[in-house]
Chain A
Amino acid sequence: MYIGYLAIVLHGHLPYIHHPEAPEMLEERWLFEALTECYLPLLDVFESMQKDKVPYRLTISLSPTLITMLTDQILQERYVRHLEKSIELAVLEQERLQNAPQYQPLSVYYLKKLTELKKQYERYNGNLINPFKQLQQQGCLELITTCATHGFLPLMNCRSSWRAQIQTALELYTSYFDQPPTGMWLPECAYTPGLDELLREYQVRYFFVDSHGIYNSRPTSLFGTFAPVCTSAGVAAFGRDPESSRQVWDRHSGYPGDPIYREFYRDIGYDLPLDYIGPYLPGNNIRVDTGLKYHRITGSGPDKQPYQPDLARERAAEHAKDFVQRRCEQLEKAGRQMHRQPLVLAPYDAELFGHWWFEGPDWLNFLCREAANSGSVRMVTPAEYLKAYPNNQVVELPMCSWGAGGYNQFWLNPSTDWIYKHLHHAEEKMTELADGHWNARELEARCLNQAARELLLAQSSDWPFIIHSGTAVEYAKQRFINHIGRFNALARMAGTGIIQIDLLEEIEARSKFLPDIDYHVFCSSDMVGRPSTARASYRILMLSWEYPPQTVGGLARHVHDLSCSLAALGDEVHVITCPVSSRGIYSLYRGVHVHRIRPELLTSNDFMNWVGQMNNGMAELAGKLVEVFGPFDLVHAHDWLVVEASKQICDQMKLPLVATIHATEYGRNHGLHTDLQKHIHSLEQELTEQATLLIGCSRYMCQEIARLFKQSTDKIAVIPNGVDPKNILPDREKLLSRSGRDKNILFLGRLVPEKGVQILIEALPTIIQKAGPVKLYIAGKGPYQQELAEQAKSLGVADQVHFVGFVNDEDRNKLLDQCDVAVIPSLYEPFGIVALEAMAAGLPVVVSDTGGLHDVIEHGIDGYCVPPGDAAMLAHYITELINNPELAQHFTRQAKRNVAVKFNWRQIASDTLKVYAKAIAISALN
């Protein structure tokens, strides 16, 4: 009777060491030693069990760099030479030790072992991927992979880097094994929230974390590490079992420290005189391990007894038996508190087996056979366990890794912290280049592809690991610097378009890694647009009381741009909106069907009645549209004015409703002071309750909606507003620093207290005092204008303040063109689209640090954020930008880039489609 499962996972990885430029490289021996001591012996064990029909199951992770090196012809040839050299040394050793009876059998043992390895390697034609692949096909092994260069994901700065590390790895794996892996080994088991979403996107079903990742999850995991958990993105995370881990890993109490086992740190490469051993060492004189080790651990002292392979093998068998026995006890105990069969997950570095723990492969051999005979512990792979138990507890996993200390400190510490500035700069540069060179061809594409390779290679977690470990430090440092240096050279060439072919070819010749890489993998957004969860096309009904050319606030522009972008992604979008004299009742523009209710329906002079008439008109029109165009998939409502129509249409047609809350009545007025405000609030409440899912334009707005209307934040998606830079004409960079004239400050928006123009006028005298003559242009109108004019007068700045009135797009562009700094001094601002428009126009911005503006501006990087209501601070930062045009130019360059990346409509439409797909799925469930 089986009482539980055991999953053993071996992770195989080595950094990419490839030096065609040199005849021999010391660090290549890392691969050779791993082949001789670990991978070939492990394959031998696997094949022997397969031959004996032992029903074993093991999971092996092979890193893309390891796979590449295992199949590299130069390295294969060099390994054969290395192996031949080792055999030659073993022969020599036999002679040397013929009069040393305690050691002589060992030299025979090594010679036999090495000769057999050579035969084995030749049987594989030097390619270890084939036998691994075969064992996977036979159902003994589950092969998975890790990130492209084993990059430490939590310390990367750009999501595009995660994407590049994961996607290129999956592509490489698939090209070798004809199918994508079911799971992934996160480098160093390093996880950070958000990674799961990307893994889900790539259909990776599981990954591994260290024990504390599971223990410290929110909520607490019920089964600890005895069952996987499921992240909110739906990816399974298996936690390392600490007990089985300790038994194998622990230096003192673990099996590998047994006195009978072979001593790793006594090697003839160090022990014998150079004139004898020199020819077998790199450069004839660099002391390294030869693999010929004649002693057992014996004890902690320096005196070591001769190694006895037979005794060690017996001990490995005992240890395997003990391991299985302990797992049985552990599983039995755990199973009592679970309503399913528990799992012990035991992940190890593959190189522990054979390289660090010489008897490891033997131990594994005995272990699998013991488990097969036990009848109580069943070996399993993670995918098999998930097949048996697909339902797992949903938890939020915290950041964690399996490195010393459990987090990031092994890779980020005073010995390695200097690398991240360069890595992050390269990540951002690569993404910018990929975004900006969508259609690169030939040389330019080659240059960008090679830049992508160099960046990936620089990201390898091995460099900081080696630097911090203190061995081979110089090699790791120079490798890191070379990859960053080459990246910078390539980025410069791609950026300027002046490509030195000889330099490009030289760099290409160094790294044959990822030959098929496509630099687009570093693009900042999906670019493809349609999310995988969305159907090929939806028929969407948009309800908005205003739509261009009718624009009051930012709503009309928003609904317009969103509708056009959705149409561009293949959706059929119908907008129902109010009439406007210059437009007919139907128009089709940029793929968007715009239907306007008949003006004669809107007769009331009573506001609420008028709103009622509009809603009735919308509901009536929707019914007619269905007759003409067919049924809708979903209704998307914008703000409370359309709540009644949304309700009627969704009830009648049984449709899911997505509602975007652009602003709230409560927020606009800092409370509900009048009956009308309370009424509007109640309609907003109704809309949030009616909606299947809600959209808010900023984190601030999401929290406000959740708080005011008592909605769960799970129901609210944050999707920012966007700008279409094409609509913002002026390119200000060329207009920079027009000296000799007054500087102009621009405010765009409604003239109401919440927009904070009064703070800006209050700041004006100080600005004039510190920055010289300035003019303030106030574009927009509202009931507050008179008061503002009086304020300017009383402060003595009336001549400097110009009320421009309401501006259309064209006038707005002119103003953006003429001004030197845009100021958004709002006291309440759910999003702040004006800030984006100014940024897109290349105008430096100073904004209030409030509401959605907080998400838009990065203070000191692409603009300044000022505490709301603080006129002195506002004056300070406006003055800074006016007095330091070069700094302002820095900001505008960064701002333009941020706008293009974070607030582009294609991305917003894609994110909106995800919400639609989810709403439709929820609606189907009910």
Chain B
Amino acid sequence: MLCSIDRMELPQWYDENKMVLMVVTPHTVFLYWELAFSQWKAVAGHQLIVRLFALAPEQQPTEQPRLVTSAVLPVATENWYFNDLPADSQYQADMGWEQDGVFYSLIKSNSVSVPPAEPLGVAGEAQWQSVKLGQLPKNIASTTSKPDITVKEILNQMSFYMGIHKTTS
């Protein structure tokens, strides 16, 4: 027993569904995964594929993720490096299989932001620590005219306010 704690071994797997994307450099990310036994059963021998997506920048959240690359996984692969990626971007990976031209995604990774690889080039406006939040915008009175509508009409038109009659009754 005394010696066993100096010769420990790593578990082969943890029987969990897990997919983790990690930043290596501004141009490389590393992906590793594990699928639970019950997930393997559900995979039922399909050929697995990993895909990497570039996520839309925070400012344009409505843009759809863009497929950067995909790879058909050799058997028993449990990790993947994605190289030569554009820097200063956000990525997310997923894994799944394809059938009749449809991709069935099994699991998605976390998303990561790879850092910029070079200076911005142009100097932005400098802020200093003592400048906290600046002046807040003052209120601007609304000039839109109030529509003429009854509670009953509301109920028919705007289901979100359903139940409002309970309050008034």
Asked whether B142 lies within 8 Å of A215 as measured between CB atoms, the reply is no
Q: Please, what's the 1-or-0 string for B139-169, where 1 marks a CB less than 8 Å from any CB in chain A?
A: 1111011111111111011111111101111
Residue of B nearest to A581 (CB): B169
Indicate whether A685 sits within 8 Å of B159 (C-beta atoms), given known contacts A607-B154, A887-B42.
no
Interface-side segment among A159-167, A518-526, A777-785: A777-785
A25 vs chain B, min Cβ distance (A): 11
Instruction: Point out the residues of chain B lying under 8 angstroms from A678, CB to CB.
Output: 144
A484→B61 contact, CB < 8 A: no
B123 in contact with A220 (CB, 8 Å) = yes
Question: CA A606 – CA B152 in complex, angstroms?
Answer: 9
How far, in whole Å, are A502 and B107 apart by their CA atoms in the complex? 41
What are the interface flags for B25-51 relative to A under an 8 Å C-beta threshold, 1 for contact and 0 otherwise? 110101010101111011000000000
Q: A546 within 8 Å of B by Cβ?
A: yes
A690 to B129, CA, bound (A): 26
Asked if A73 is at the interface (CB within 8 A of a chain B CB), the reply is: no
Distance in angstroms from B119 CB to nearest chain A CB is: 5
Give A411 Cβ to nearest chain B Cβ, in Å.
9
Q: By the criterion of a CB under 8 Å from any partner CB, how many residues of chain B are at the interface? A: 96
Interface residues of A in 324-383 (CB under 8 A from B): none
Contacts of A602 in B (CB 8 A): 167-168
Cα distance A488–B9 in the bound complex, in angstroms:
10
Interface size class of A (residues with CB under 8 A): 35 or more
Residue from the list A400, A407, A552 in contact with B24, Cβ < 8 A = A407
Contacts of B121 in A (CB 8 A): 220
The answer to whether A606 touches B159, judged by C-beta atoms less than 8 angstroms apart, is: no
Which listed residue, A193, A552, A689, touches B137 by the CB 8 Å rule?
A: A689
Q: Which of A309-317, A503-511, A619-627, A900-908 binds B?
A: A503-511
B70 on the A face (CB < 8 A): no
Stretch with Cβ within 8 A of B (4 or more), from A121-129, A281-289, A413-421, A835-843: A413-421
1/0 contact string of A217-232 vs chain B (CB within 8 Å):
1111010000000100
Contact of B22 among A406, A412, A578 (CB under 8 A): A412
Among B38, B131, B152, point to the contact of A890 (Cβ < 8 A). B38
Contact in complex: B5, A887 (CB < 8 Å): no
Q: Which residues of A are found within 8 Å of B141, using beta-carbon distances?
A: 686
Nearest chain B residue, comparing its CB with the CB of A612:
B146
Any B CB within 8 A of the CB of A668: yes
Structural contact, B34 and A421, CB atoms closer than 8 A: yes
Residue of B nearest to A155 (CB): B22
A782, B20: Cβ atoms under 8 Å?
Answer: no
A925's contact among B14, B79, B132, B161, by CB below 8 Å, is which? B132
Partner of B5, one of A219, A409, A485, A580: A485
Check if B128 sits within 8 Å of A391, measured CB to CB: yes
The residues of A that contact B125 with a CB separation of less than 8 Å are 219
Residues 127-177 (chain A) with a chain B CB within 8 angstroms:
154-155, 157
A424 within 8 A of B: yes
Q: Is B75 located at the chain interface by the 8 A CB criterion?
A: no
Tell me whether A392 and B79 are in contact (CB under 8 A): no
> Does A119 reach chain B (CB closer than 8 Å)?
no
Query: In the complex, which residues of chain B have a beta carbon less than 8 angstroms from the beta carbon of A890?
Result: 16-17, 36, 38-39
- Establish whether residues A392 and B160, one from each chain, have CB atoms under 8 Å apart when the complex forms: no
B24 & A216 in contact (Cβ 8 Å cutoff):
no
Interface 0/1 of A878-904, CB less than 8 Å to B: 001001101101110010000000000
B167 in contact with A481 (CB, 8 Å): no
Q: How far is the CA of A647 from the CA of B147 in the complex (A)?
A: 21
B1 within 8 A of A: yes
Q: Is the CB of A393 within 8 A of B9?
A: no
* Closest residue of B by beta carbon distance from A885: B38
Q: Max chain B CB contacts within 10 Å: which of A608, A678, A690, A781?
A: A608
**B119/A220 in contact, CB under 8 A:** yes
Could you tell me the distance between the alpha carbons of A507 and B3 in the complex, rounded to whole angstroms? Answer: 11
Closest to A613 in B: B168
Question: Residue A686 contacts which of B30, B114, B139 (CB distance < 8 angstroms)?
Answer: B139
Q: State whether the Cβ of A714 lies closer than 8 Å to any Cβ in chain B.
A: yes
A610 to B169, CA, bound (A): 12
Across the interface, which residues of B come within 8 angstroms of A489, CB to CB? 5, 8
CA distance A551 to B166 in the complex (A): 10
Q: Which 10 A-B pairs have the closest CB atoms?
A: A485-B8, A860-B107, A219-B124, A398-B115, A886-B38, A552-B163, A675-B147, A859-B108, A682-B144, A887-B38
Q: Which residues of B contact A (CB under 8 A)?
A: 1-2, 5-11, 14, 16-20, 22-26, 28, 30, 32, 34, 36-39, 41-42, 58-59, 61, 79, 81, 94-95, 102, 104-108, 113-133, 135-142, 144-154, 156-164, 166-169
- Beyond the given pairs A390-B129, A400-B115, 18 more chain A to chain B contacts, judged by CB atoms under 8 angstroms and listed by A's residue number, are A222-B126, A391-B129, A399-B23, A405-B25, A406-B25, A481-B10, A485-B5, A602-B167, A605-B152, A607-B151, A608-B149, A679-B147, A682-B142, A692-B136, A860-B108, A886-B37, A889-B38, A891-B17
Chain A residues with CB under 8 Å of chain B are 21, 154-155, 157, 193, 215-220, 222, 230, 234, 390-394, 398-400, 405-409, 412-414, 417, 420-422, 424-425, 478, 481-482, 484-486, 488-489, 502-503, 506-507, 510, 545-546, 550-553, 578-581, 602, 605-608, 610, 647, 663, 668, 674-676, 678-679, 682-683, 685-686, 689-690, 692, 699-700, 703, 713-715, 750-752, 781-784, 858-861, 865, 872, 876, 880, 883-884, 886-887, 889-891, 894, 921-922, 925-926
Question: Could you list 26 examples of A-B contacts with CB < 8 Å?
Answer: A193-B113, A218-B124, A220-B121, A220-B122, A220-B124, A399-B114, A406-B25, A407-B23, A412-B22, A425-B14, A481-B10, A485-B5, A545-B167, A552-B161, A552-B162, A552-B164, A607-B149, A608-B146, A689-B139, A690-B139, A703-B58, A782-B162, A876-B104, A887-B39, A890-B36, A925-B133
